[in-house]
Amino acid sequence: MRVYKYPAILLCLCLVFILLMGCVSQSNKESTDAIVYSDRGRAHAIKDDLDRAIADFNKAIELDPRYAEVYRHRGLVYAEKGDYKAAIADGEQFLKLAPNHPLVPQMRQQLMEEWKKKAYATKSELDYAIEEYTQAIELNPKDANAPQTTC
């Protein structure tokens, strides 16, 4: 019978290895689950069920907050719903997590040229524009070239 000099140390190393393997496989499972939730969210978005899409994207982010693609998808859905501030936040998170992603130029364009412009058009500015157009129409309802304002 062979007697090991350091059985407690050997036992501890084996336990640490087993625990680490469990953490790695749990992490991989969470990443896989995040992808599944993200894919289902995309399917909901295609069907215009935007609230369910956002719920699935939220779950995917909860499972794997480093999964960059889900931020892009959720940002697109937020933009579709008109929540441009949330869309901008998700777009910026996508850019932060995946700076070399092939869709980065497209996301930058959406952020800078579309979403930010729409986010800054506040309700009060829109109300003012509606009043101006209404006054122009009332002053000269037959003139298609009534004075124009810019928003």
pLDDT in tens, 77-108: 999 999 988 999 999 999 999 999 999 998 98
Q: Which residues have a Cβ under 8 Å from the Cβ of 115 and sit 6 or more positions away?
A: 79, 84, 87, 88, 91
How would CATH label the architecture of 27-120? Alpha Horseshoe (1.25)
Please classify residue 119 by burial: count the beta carbons closer than 10 Å to its beta carbon, then call 0-12 exposed, 13-18 middle and 19+ buried: middle
Q: Quick one: pLDDT at residue 22?
A: 47
CA distance 134 to 126: 12
- Would you state the structure tokens that stand for residue 63, as one six-digit string? 């499972």
The list of the chain residues with pLDDT below 50 reads 1-4, 6-8, 10-26, 146
